[in-house]
Structure 1
């Protein structure tokens, strides 16, 4: 961690997180946890790691898993698929598209049409 300080890769939020980790896990295990926080730095880049640590501290999470999540969460998002015209696919495959049902039968029922009178049920009073 001294090397990170010498290279200028040690902002104040790292000290803040380290202090919280030591308070939560004890000095030795807190230092181990801080080393685990720094481990993905070369893979994700120091700027991304700094942002993840600063966000973690600002949210009060102060946990190694929270930092890891913030580093990897962008990769968890899936691109929203573009809609496709299924009608074109059905026509290309030779299938026909059924027409949408009309509301004529319902309208006739609601109007008391003779088409539906033989299906009516008489309820006792």
Structure 2
């Protein structure tokens, strides 16, 4: 069973590499790619996770007030005159 933490995985990979195990054998044993093995051999500590980027604004943001206005007006309109959407099956 592979180690639970990434630090433990890196330590196990380094230990097996010092024992003479090949890179491919280490990849198979721990079910990781060659990049992970190279990273583990280069540094005992894994790289910190990258920060998530803030969400991008929607292209609809500038039209949302207008769309809301139309939908509010539809609440008073007769059923057949309301704006609706149909899902196309064409793809």
Using the size of structure 1 for normalisation, the TM-score is 0.26
The answer to which structure, 1 or 2, has the higher relative contact order (CA under 8 A, 6+ apart) is 2
Larger radius of gyration: 1
Using the size of structure 2 for normalisation, the TM-score is 0.33
